Amino acid sequence: METAHTASCRCGQLSATVTGDPIRVSVCHCLNCQKRSGSAFAAQARWPADRVVIEGRSNSFEMVGDSGGRATFHFCPECGSDVYYDNNGRADDQVAIPLGAFDDPFFLTPNYSVYEGRKHGWLEIEGEHVEHFE
Amino acid sequence: MSERLASCRCGQLRAMAEGDPVRISICHCLACQKRTGSALAAQARWEKECVQVEGRSKQWVRTADSGQQTAYHFCPECGSTVHYSGGNFPDLIAIPLGALDDPYFECIDASVWERRKHPWVELLGDDIQHRE
């Protein structure tokens, strides 16, 4: 049987449970991802939408990226944590989950590090299997 | 005097910080990973009187295992946390680095909760204080 992993907000009322392997695990250094995370970069993994089960209440916010892509972020109205997001129009059949939202965030490592032109000078993303993109 | 502006992703909640931050730190703890959704949290702290906040926010208070409380302020429209205070630094206001319109600083001062650090993250700088 495939292992399930659960992501949740800080107060715990909103959760996403995934089954099976992700399609892609990536780190993004772009300014939009820095703003949404509040961190120096964002880390996320994407699954086929039919492998993700959402429970709880969420508010959503749509953002348009520099490249014109749209994404809808779903966050907990009580504590503000993003628990999942959709890439509208580009990958409607996928759901992305911020790595840090997982109760165990250590079960995945990134394969891609993108927008490194915006990477902070004091940070490196390590790993021989990581592909780096400017 | 220099100033840095911070805002949520929809722009209605803002903070303006005057002068240089007192401390710039990274935290790898699981609560900070959950708050940011990232592999670590990065934040800069200023004295309270150096920070002005505008806009509507919702507060969420987290009580740590130690009993210490931290109050996080996020935009109810888009969910971004723009400032927080409490915890180990009751006289300071923390602003998540990524919330700053210019989030870039030359170096960071401290990296804490490194026992929770992801092995694929490396922090560069000879003067960083590292704590387990």
Among B7, B35, B38, B126, pick the best mutation site for testing chain A contact (most A Cβ within 10 A): B38
Mapped onto helix, strand or coil, the DSSP state of residue B89 is strand
pTM reported for the whole predicted model: 0.96
Q: Which residues of B touch A125 (CB under 8 A)?
A: 120-122
* C-alpha closest to that of A35 among B98, B122, B106: B98
Report the alpha-carbon distance of residue B34 to residue B61 in Å, rounded: 14
Model pLDDT for residues A33-66, shown as the tens digit of each residue: 999 999 999 999 999 999 999 999 999 999 887 7
**Cα–Cα–Cα angle for A100, B107, B79, rounded to 5 degrees:** 35
Q: Which residues of B touch A39 (CB under 8 A)?
A: 36-42, 96-98
Contact between residue A25 and residue A109 where contact means Cβ atoms under 8 Å apart? yes
Could you tell me how many CB contacts below 8 A there are between chain A and chain B? 158
Tell me which residue in B58, B81, B124 faces A122 most closely, judged by beta carbons.
B124
pLDDT of residue A14: 98
Q: Cβ B103–A120 below 8 Å, yes or no?
A: yes
User: In one letter, which amino acid is A4?
Assistant: A
Model pLDDT for residues B5-46, shown as the tens digit of each residue: 999 999 999 999 999 999 999 999 999 999 999 999 999 999
* C-alpha closest to that of A37 among A88, A93, A95, A96: A96
Report the alpha-carbon distance of residue A91 to residue A86 in Å, rounded: 8
User: In one letter, which amino acid is B26?
Assistant: I
Model pLDDT for residues A105-115, shown as the tens digit of each residue: 999 999 999 99
